[in-house]
Amino acid sequence: MTPQIPDDTLKEIHEALFANRKIQAIKHYREATGQGLAESKTAVEAIDAELRAANPDKFLARKAGCIGVLLITATLLTGLAVAKMIS
């Protein structure tokens, strides 16, 4: 039997999962349902799988942003290393 979760809490769980904060989502789920850690983790992973199937673009956008930040950081660090070698 799946416990009932208030809509506002379910929204918080979804937002945490979209932001790749699974631990926070599990905390919200546990507070709302009173279930243990293992049960909550299993339930949140099922919610995560459903969200990824229904909204894959919301997850891909997050990953692309991280890769962009890493590339910019690598470029800046390379530029600083080259500038230091020249001077």
How far is C-alpha 47 from the chain's CA centre? 13
pLDDT tens per residue across span 25-43: 999 999 999 999 999 999 9
Whether 85 and 46 share a structural domain = no
Tell me how many domains the chain contains.
2
Whether 40 and 24 share a structural domain = yes
In the chain, the amino acid numbered 65 is G
Which residue range is the domain that position 28 belongs to?
A: 1-54
Q: Determine the 3-state secondary structure of 69 from DSSP.
A: helix
pTM of the model: 0.66
Q: Please provide the DSSP assignment of 4-60 as one string.
A: P--HHHHHHHHHHHHTT-HHHHHHHHHHHH---HHHHHHHHHHHHHHHHHH-HHHHH
Whether 60 and 30 share a structural domain = no
10-residue block means of pLDDT along the chain (87 residues)? 85 93 95 94 95 84 64 85 82
